[in-house]
Amino acid sequence: MEFILAQATLYLAAAVVAVPICARLGLGSVLGYLLAGIAIQPFIGMLGTEAGELMHFAEFGVVLMLFLIGLELEPRALWDMRHKLVGLGGMQVLLTTFVIAGGCLILGVPVPTAIAIGMTLALSSTAIVLQTLTEKGLMKTPGGHASFSVLLTQDVAVIPFLAILPLLTMPGISARISETGTIERAGDGDHEAALSLVSGLPGWQVTLVTLGAVALVILVGIYATRPVFRFIHMAKLREMYTATALLMVVGIAVLMNAVGLSAALGTFLAGVVLANSEFRHELEADIEPFKGLLLGLFFIAVGADINFQYLWRNLGDVIGLTLLVVLAKGVILLGLATAFRLKGEDRLLFTLGLAQAGEFGFVLVSFSLQQGVFDPALGQLLLLVVALSMLMTPLFFIAQDQIARRLSGGRNSAQHDHIDEQGAVIIAGIGRFGQVVNRMVQMAGLTTTVIDNDLPTIQLMRKFGFKGFFGDPTRPEIIHAAGLANARILVVALDDKAAALKLVRHARAHRPDLHIVARAHDRVHVYELYRAGANDIVREMFDSSLRAGRYVLENMSFSEFEAHEIERTFYTHDRRTIRELADVWRPGVPVAENAEYIARARELNKDLETALVTALDDSEDARDAARRDRDAEAAAVAKSETRKMEGQ
């Protein structure tokens, strides 16, 4: 027990120290975990254990990650990706396998071994790439989608690779392995044999069992999930949801391993099946913490498993082969990115992001050693190439980020569109905020001139029939070309607070009579825009928050009229409050340190309570008066009807 606690302390301490430092330096969490593993390598042997033993447990983080990715993908979305999965992903796997195998043949490696090496190095790191894409918010980009498609295809390709490797066994290697020992992880073969449901079966029965396991996962996901979670809900214990989610993932992983399939692939399939379930968000919340921790443990194990003694003895060979693998994969990826029409930053992301070998390479190397495809020396060399290429991946992403920024800066400073139309209303910024304004104004029959510094957004607008111009509206020559001298209204809808402030100041200086409507990020931004000369200032979330508050009141004990009056009172009071607080706001002084601002805000909040009470009283009086009027009218009608009947 004390050894387990000592190991846990060592791994956690290394992660807690290394990861925040790397994140602070902009190197990413993955590189932090890898460096933590390298740093603690000398201490692992003192605890009587090996990093390879930890890998069994840590690889489960990859399984959890693919399950969560599956939860984010509906089956329809997966079907829509079929062309990229088969075309882009399939071509990457085949081309890389044959190119690397061809390079090995040139170096004198036997054909079966060369093919096995090609398959091993054709795969990329699902764990590192997806983790990094998620951290950087790049999963939704075209480059991120293409990278995910290739990674998913590679994970599926592991299955036929495992089936092909036994056919590539080299005579004589098995005997040498039994004499010299292997670098495979202890006990792998015994465990796999004990858990196998297909061992010793003929091929057609193996196929039936495998298909049956996949069908079982799908059927359980569709029909058994709801009853199980309803049963768990009866306990009203939060930890039971977590236990059920982990049981589901672990059970699927065990079943997939037992039939010879990838556990990661099985859990991904289960995630896709559950993507439309009402329990999706519950599963994500329960599993996310375990995924992050186990993935970190996986990267630590990779760093700690690097054999530096072998590396120093063969430093030139290892580095040279690693660079050749990365270069070969990069050239293939670049060609595929060009063929599939990825452009600019997306092409760069796709090429640099997938140029490494992957964690499934460890699995294939170990399996190849067991089957006598590789000898121990070659296996150790391949493990180092895989580990070193994975270690280089965070650096590739850093380079990609720097190059992308330069490309972006060059694009934004390039020649802007020639603005050949000038409308009465100029809209600077066409994000979610500016789009709504533009559509509403155009629907009313007014002409607008739309300018935005994001070229893909402008191009997307044009596809839907809305005209816009690419250019930086904060640049004087562009805003003047858009018709600043003759426009009646300028709408400043920029995301960048500083840019919005700059534009308002420039427009007010050149057009004192211009009406400026500006989008504000928060109250402080309101004060800044007010000082800069904006006429109407709209906080991003204010109006939508008022509507949400009104809906809350209407669904409680308040009538629609009362809720509307409270909303109107709050709106009026808040606008008056902002105008008064703007007079006591001081630029550069945080509001929490402005005593005059705080005192005035307290006074105005008390006024709000009085105003709300008055509004409710007025609405009650108005409602009573309306009720009396209705009663009097009803009485008059009844009296008139009575007279008519008496007259008859």
Instruction: Give the residue-averaged pLDDT of 37-44.
Output: 79
Place of tokens 């308002």: 504
Residue 414 has pLDDT above 60, yes or no: no
Of residues 58, 568, 109, the one with CA closest to residue 363: 58
- Residue ranges per structural domain of the chain: 2-182+199-398, 420-540, 549-648
Separation of alpha carbons 166 and 116, rounded Å: 10
Instruction: Give the residue-averaged pLDDT of 470-483.
Output: 85
Q: Quick one: pLDDT at residue 260?
A: 72
Instruction: Give the residue-averaged pLDDT of 74-102.
Output: 80
Separation of alpha carbons 524 and 475, rounded Å: 24
Separation of alpha carbons 431 and 500, rounded Å: 13
Could you tell me the pLDDT band of residue 615, with boundaries at 50, 70 and 90? low
Q: Quick one: pLDDT at residue 182?
A: 39
Q: Indicate the average pLDDT of the chain.
A: 77
Greater pLDDT, 76 or 616: 76
Locate all alpha helices (DSSP H) within 181-279, ordered by sequence: 188-195, 203-219, 225-233, 238-258, 263-273
> If residue 86 lies in a helix (H) or strand (E), which one and from where to where?
none
Q: What angle do CA 179, 184, 190 make, to 5 degrees?
A: 90
- The three-class DSSP label of residue 495 is coil
Residue 36 has pLDDT above 80, yes or no: yes
Residue 5 has pLDDT above 50, yes or no: yes
Place of tokens 């300028």: 490
Q: How many beta carbons lie within 10 A of that of residue 548, not counting itself?
A: 10
Instruction: Give the residue-averaged pLDDT of 415-436.
Output: 81
**pLDDT winner (highest mean) among 458-472, 525-539, 552-566:** 525-539
Residue 191 has pLDDT above 50, yes or no: no
Separation of alpha carbons 210 and 208, rounded Å: 5
Cα of 247 vs its chain's centroid, Å? 25
Could you tell me the pLDDT band of residue 180, with boundaries at 50, 70 and 90? very low
N residues, the chain: 648
Could you tell me the pLDDT band of residue 632, with boundaries at 50, 70 and 90? low
Cβ-proximal residues to 80 (8 Å cutoff; 6+ apart), any chain: none
Could you tell me the pLDDT band of residue 517, with boundaries at 50, 70 and 90? very high
Separation of alpha carbons 540 and 298, rounded Å: 42
Q: Quick one: pLDDT at residue 178?
A: 44
Separation of alpha carbons 105 and 99, rounded Å: 10
Place of tokens 């090996």: 50
Six-digit token pair at 220?
């359980």
Q: Quick one: pLDDT at residue 540?
A: 81
Six-digit token pair at 203?
């091929």
φ/ψ region of 534 (left if φ > 0, alpha if ψ in -120 to 50, else beta) reads beta
Q: Quick one: pLDDT at residue 613?
A: 59
- Side chain identity, residue 351: T
Q: Quick one: pLDDT at residue 188?
A: 43
Residue 411 has pLDDT above 50, yes or no: no
Place of tokens 């409050």: 577
Separation of alpha carbons 282 and 299, rounded Å: 27
Cα of 424 vs its chain's centroid, Å? 40
Residue 496 has pLDDT above 50, yes or no: yes
Residue 243 has pLDDT above 70, yes or no: yes
Separation of alpha carbons 392 and 398, rounded Å: 10
In words, the CATH class of domain 420-540 is: alpha beta
Asked whether the beta carbons of 374 and 115 are under 8 A apart, the reply is: no
Q: Cα separations (Å) of 546 from 27, 221, 515, 571, 616?
A: 42, 41, 25, 8, 17
Q: Quick one: pLDDT at residue 77?
A: 62
Residue 17 has pLDDT above 90, yes or no: no
pLDDT in tens, 208-219: 887 888 888 888
pTM over 0.85: no
Six-digit token pair at 331?
């050239």
Q: Quick one: pLDDT at residue 627?
A: 56
Kindly report which listed range (55-59, 237-241, 436-440, 584-588) carries the lowest average pLDDT score.
Answer: 55-59
Q: Cα separations (Å) of 587 from 508, 540, 574, 595, 644?
A: 19, 21, 21, 14, 76
- As beta bridge partners, residue 516 has 490
Q: Quick one: pLDDT at residue 16?
A: 84
**pLDDT winner (highest mean) among 71-80, 224-233, 635-644:** 224-233
φ/ψ region of 185 (left if φ > 0, alpha if ψ in -120 to 50, else beta) reads beta
Q: Which fold has domain 2-182+199-398?
A: Na+/H+ antiporter like fold (1.20.1530)
Greater pLDDT, 87 or 55: 87
Give the dihedral sign, CA 537/539/540/542.
negative
Six-digit token pair at 366?
């170990």
Could you tell me the pLDDT band of residue 100, with boundaries at 50, 70 and 90? very high
pLDDT in tens, 124-176: 888 788 878 877 767 767 788 888 888 888 877 876 787 787 778 766 554 44
Number of H helices, E strands in the chain: 30, 6
Residue 459: how many CA atoms within 13 Å on its side-chain side? 3
Q: Quick one: pLDDT at residue 515?
A: 93
Asked whether the beta carbons of 68 and 335 are under 8 A apart, the reply is: no
DSSP string computed for 52-83: HHHHHHHTHHHHHHHHHHHHT--HHHHHHTHH
Q: What angle do CA 364, 367, 371 make, to 5 degrees?
A: 130
Q: Quick one: pLDDT at residue 588?
A: 67
Separation of alpha carbons 253 and 268, rounded Å: 10
Residue 490 has pLDDT above 90, yes or no: yes
**DSSP β-ladder status, 489-492 and 469-470:** unpaired
Give me the helix-helix angle, 142-164 and 111-122, nearest 10°: 150
Q: Cα separations (Å) of 263 from 76, 131, 302, 360?
A: 23, 19, 19, 11
Asked whether the beta carbons of 125 and 393 are under 8 A apart, the reply is: yes
Instruction: Give the residue-averaged pLDDT of 8-29.
Output: 77
Instruction: Give the residue-averaged pLDDT of 463-480.
Output: 82
Asked whether the beta carbons of 529 and 500 are under 8 A apart, the reply is: yes
Instruction: Give the residue-averaged pLDDT of 448-472.
Output: 81
Six-digit token pair at 563?
């809720």
Instruction: Give the residue-averaged pLDDT of 423-438.
Output: 88
Residue 625 has pLDDT above 90, yes or no: no
Q: Quick one: pLDDT at residue 410?
A: 46
Residue 96 has pLDDT above 80, yes or no: yes
Q: Cα separations (Å) of 194 from 165, 197, 257?
A: 21, 9, 11
Separation of alpha carbons 45 and 36, rounded Å: 15
